[in-house]
Amino acid sequence: MFEMQGIRMMHCTIWTEGVREIISAEDSSIKFIVSDHPITIYNYASPPEARICRYPNDPTIALKASQTIFPLNCNFCLILTNLEYAKDASTSIFRWNEITAHRQRQAARSSAPLYALAQRIESETFAFPKGIPDIETFASEATFAAYHKLMADIFRYLCRLGDHRPKPNLEAHLAAHFAKVHSTTQTAMRKSGADTRPAQISCMFPLGGIQDNNVNRLLLMSSSERHLPNVPMAFFING
């Protein structure tokens, strides 16, 4: 009995400290399911097919990345995200693994766009300047402005892809353009003599984008009225 009370107190503490989010299905034809046992625990590291999640089990609430999902009625659902995960989800290797798993599940349904570009980026080494003055210098140089234009072109292409068919020729052009820009900028950085640190970049451009509940939560809290529902691309710097 005392053990059960301790577990309940622990759960209450985790929920009280967690980040609260209410999502709505008012504009959707599909509603939330309300039953006599509506609470579900979701954890990206324990997918529904995992042994720990076999019916009637859920991942434990005590796990760092667990989220408690509680339908309030058919139109509203309360999500409680454990504080540690909510505070540092988008910049951690755990969040990157979650996004990677999403891409792998999606790859079974459709081929990812810009595959050649992703392969080129991930095969290259990037030199990152260590000093703030060097960062400011490179940011103001016209040579490095080519990166900005390239990212803008990629962003526009991915945002329009949902309404159009993939364009193999354009994707090949973007991959070739990256190779040229990367070679020019990295050569310029080496010649500058700046103190740099090498790193690899992993990237993904999943069809339909990536939905990040933590970003959406921050936008909701800031009363943002104009924002993208999905992030079209993601990068992870390892170095």
Could you report the per-residue pLDDT of 21-66, keeping only the tens digit for each? 888 988 888 888 888 777 888 887 777 777 777 777 788 887 777 8
Report the alpha-carbon distance of residue 172 to residue 104 in Å, rounded.
22
pLDDT band at 4 (very low <50, low <70, confident <90, very high): very low
pTM score, two decimals?
0.53
Report the alpha-carbon distance of residue 137 to residue 171 in Å, rounded.
31
| Span 98-145, pLDDT tens digits | 666 655 655 544 456 888 899 999 999 999 988 888 888 888 888 888
Mean per-residue pLDDT, 212-239: 73
User: Is the pLDDT score of 213 beyond 50?
Assistant: yes
Report the alpha-carbon distance of residue 164 to residue 162 in Å, rounded.
6
- Kindly state the tokens that stand for 131: 């000093």
Residue 90 has a pLDDT of 53
Residue 68's Cβ-side half-sphere holds a number of Cα atoms within 13 Å equal to 22
Report the alpha-carbon distance of residue 82 to residue 88 in Å, rounded.
11
CA 99 to chain centre: 5
pLDDT band at 96 (very low <50, low <70, confident <90, very high): low
Q: What is the mean pLDDT of the chain?
A: 79
pLDDT band at 1 (very low <50, low <70, confident <90, very high): very low
Nearest to 167 by CA among 119, 116, 208, 204: 116
Mean per-residue pLDDT, 86-104: 61
> Which residue is listed with tokens 């504080």?
83
Sort residue 139 into left (φ over 0), alpha (ψ -120 to 50) or beta: alpha
Cα separation values, 199 from 144, 190, 237, Å: 17, 14, 7
Residue 181 has a pLDDT of 93
User: Is the pLDDT score of 5 beyond 80?
Assistant: no
Residue 2 has a pLDDT of 37
